[in-house]
Homo-oligomer: A and B are copies of this chain.
């Protein structure tokens, strides 16, 4: 059996009891460690689980998955995923491969950014499609996110923007020369995201949002150091929200109760109140 087990958002105690029981008795335990990270080390996880945890990088999961699956044919293998196994990245290819090998699959769900972001106070009902923001380079500034935000904004919906993570990436030079030397991990900040959004609005000029559009910077969601920061994109582009992981929510239409709730997180309450004039 292949168990896909969500670890939740923050530390070793965010696993469910059901998940932990499986980890403790599985033949092998893999940790998918390239689409998201926990805020604790592998060593901490190993100590807490009382088990060896094998790091599964992109190459192993996407090109070499039979290494993981061969044990699952005759024994229980736990494949750990930060957040929920069916959150932002679903590993459908791994599951389809397991199916083709007649390996039964079971999922142990957990919180992911896709639902826990509701903690900012905006109703999950009113989020449109989710978009991703990658690190821009001098020559590569993909803007497909802009079209999707446009579709959401047109009908008043919020947009969750998931921010790029670069783990175990090679520089172009090292990649070209086939040298397995990896760059230090990089995690996009809310400031970088807001700034890239404004760059694309300047290029596209379709008025999907502006420097005055309201957004929520989400940092370290689900941890004790979780923060929400409400400001304009211009304000957030200058804001330091501290250590990763970060996400951003571009705010659509809001109800009074949501306004009451998010006001507490405003960088500048006078500006916030001007954006949402109250009747009272």
Contact = CB atoms under 8 A, between A and B. Distances in A.
Interface in A7-28: 8-9, 11-18, 20-21
A114 B111 contact: no
Nearest to A117: B86
A140 interface: no
12 contacts: A14-B109, A85-B119, A86-B119, A86-B124, A88-B124, A96-B260, A96-B261, A109-B115, A110-B111, A114-B114, A124-B130, A127-B130
B116 A125 contact: no
Copy tally for this chain in the complex stands at 2
A90 B123 contact: yes
A88 to B, nearest CB: 7
A160 to B, nearest CB: 10
Which of A18, A84, A116, A264 has the most C-beta atoms of chain B within 10 angstroms of its own C-beta?
A: A116
A107 interface: yes
Contacts of A257: 92-93, 96
Interface of A: 6, 8-9, 11-18, 20-21, 84-88, 90, 92-93, 95-96, 99, 107, 109-112, 114-119, 121, 123-132, 151, 155, 157, 222, 257-258, 260-261, 264
Contact of A127 (B129, B132, B155): B129
Nearest to A255: B92
A257 B124 CA distance: 26
A155 B147 CA distance: 11
A87 B107 contact: no
B115 A92 contact: no
B16 A110 contact: yes
Nearest to A48: B17
B18 A17 contact: no
Given A86-B115, A260-B96, A110 B110 contact: yes
9 closest A-B pairs by beta carbon, nearest first, are A86-B118, A109-B111, A115-B115, A13-B18, A13-B17, A109-B116, A114-B115, A151-B155, A112-B115
